[in-house]
Amino acid sequence: MELLTINNVWMMICTALVFFMHTGFAFLEIGLTRQKNTINILFKNIFIITAGLLLYYVVGFNLMYPGDFNGVLGFAGFGLDAPLADGAFDLAYSEGYTYWTDFLFQGMFAATAATIVSGAVAERMKIGAFMIFTVFYVGFVYPIAGSWQWGGGFLSSLTIGEAEGFYDFAGSTLVHSVGGWAALVAVYLLGSRIGKFNNGKPQAIPGHSIPLATAGVLILWLGWFGFNGGSVLSADPEATSLTLVTTCLAAAAGGVIAMITSTLLYKNLDLTMFLNGILGGLVGITAGADQMSPGDAILIGAIAGALIVFAVSLVDKIKLDDPVGAIAVHLICGIWGTLAVGLFGAKAGFDQFLVQLVGVLCYGVFCVATSFIIIYTLKKTVGIRVSEREELEGLDAHEHKMDAYPDFRLNEH
């Protein structure tokens, strides 16, 4: 009982850290976008965490972790009481944590997928359309996708050669690329912001507060101690310590290599690229943080950092507008981190690499298809993009009738 208490306390601390990551996401997004859209972005982030938790309670948790239940998609019933009513779970149903702690920890992950999309569609998507998208994506798409691996679904037992089971420790694919694929589809269907491309050439649209963006990244890094550390699902000292070491080393390597790469290519010390390099390293190590050596973690993070620079450039070249670099960070580095499990660590080998690749493809097809159906339907019905006037004058004034900084206005075009 004492061990359960210690493990459960650690899991609750990690839950709090993952919750705190939403502050980091909010700071990063408002920092990298313009002042006139600050309230709109904050509103979306608050909606995601509040609606996300309620949706995860109603359907998400039991859809993602069906246990021994049958029914449609193994759905265990509505609400947290449904499995308990059938005696399926004891309150201490794991050596590491209670049923209630498990729900809260996993619920924090669920909301993250929609937060990734929020940054990518910033400054031009209708708030109502985004809220409807969040309900469907967090309520149904994410739990179904998560059940394929974390819920004991078909990918958890996928066998190719000597390799058995797709592996994603803390969500490089299950969380980050699930959000990244949707971000890619949303950005494509929305189109770019006014002024982003001039005669086909990308133009910089500076954010209004780089200090806020920097604070956001540091908060996210701190939150990753819970994101990856909590995914050990216990307070095991060796496993949690190794996981936090590999997480931090990958983040540091990602930032340094992104900084060096962007400086060599563009001849300037770009802080935003530095920051996204840190995030890329964190996303990259997330799939295998528990089984990588420190050296492997540095290499994985370094490759993620270089990928960030080239991915941001590629997104611009194909004329997609991603204000915060979400596609590069969460999708590209999420894919890389998932494949890296087959190249490094305990599960390294060609067969495991193929298993990882199949998993990536399965999630890509499912997430692209579902997000396209949701967003395209919204586009043809309620519409997904604000008017030109609303975009130029700012979403805060038109959709919220508020000003984030009423006593301090910047001149914006």
Residue 147 has pLDDT above 70, yes or no: yes
The confidence score (pLDDT) of residue 91 equals: 46
pLDDT of 215-226, one tens digit each?
999 999 999 999
Structure tokens at 178: 């699930």
Return d(Cα 210, Cα 317) in angstroms, integer.
24
Kindly indicate the confidence band of residue 84, based on its pLDDT and cuts at 50, 70 and 90.
Answer: low
Q: What is the pTM of this model?
A: 0.94
Mean pLDDT of 214-238: 96
Residue range(s) defining the domain that contains residue 160 = 2-398
Q: What is d(CA 56, CA 238) in angstroms, rounded to the nearest whole number?
A: 31
Inside any domain, residue 374: yes
Q: How many CA atoms lie within 13 A of 398 on its CB side?
A: 19
Buried b or exposed e, range 330-367, using 16+ CB within 10 angstroms: bbbbbbbbbbbbbbbbebbeeebbebbbebbebbbebb
Residue 70 has pLDDT above 60, yes or no: no
300-358 residue pLDDT tens: 999 999 999 999 999 999 999 999 999 999 999 999 999 999 999 888 999 999 999 99
Q: Read off the pLDDT of residues 46-66 as tens digits, 9 standing for 90 and up.
A: 999 999 999 999 999 989 987
Q: Give the pLDDT of residue 72.
A: 46
Is residue 212 very low, low, confident or very high in pLDDT (cuts 50, 70, 90)? very high
pLDDT > 90 fraction of the chain, expressed in percent and rounded:
84
Domain count, the chain: 1
If pLDDT is split at 50, 70 and 90, which confidence band does 67 have? low
- Residue 125 has phi, psi (to 5 degrees) of -100, 140
Q: What gap in Å lies between CA 115 and CA 224, rounded to an integer?
A: 15
Residue 403 lies in a domain: no
Does the pLDDT at position 85 exceed 70? no
Tell me what pLDDT residue 73 has. 61
Q: What is the distance between the alpha carbons of residues 212 and 208, in angstroms, rounded to a whole number? A: 9
Mean pLDDT, residues 266-276: 96
Tell me, what's the pLDDT at 409? 56
What digits encode the pLDDT tens for the residues 175-199? 999 999 999 999 999 999 999 999 8
- Cα–Cα dist 140/339, whole Å: 26
| Residue range 36-44: mean pLDDT, rounded | 97
Report the distance separating Cα 364 and Cα 49, nearest Å: 24
Residues sharing a CB contact under 8 Å with residue 68, sequence separation 6 or more, in sequence order: 88
DSSP assignment of 215-266: HHHHHHHHHHHHHHHGGG-S--HHHHHHHHHHHHHHHHHHHHHHHHHHHHHH
Query: What value does the mean pLDDT take over residues 97-105?
Result: 89
**Helices (H) then strands (E): counts for the chain:** 17, 4
Chain-wide mean pLDDT for the chain?
92
CATH for 386 = 1.10.3430.10
Let me know if residue 409 belongs to a domain. Answer: no
* Alpha helices (H) along 56-203: 61-64, 81-85, 99-120, 127-136, 142-147, 178-190
Kindly report the CA angle at 54 between 53 and 56, in degrees rounded to 5?
65
The two tokens of residue 112 are 């993250």
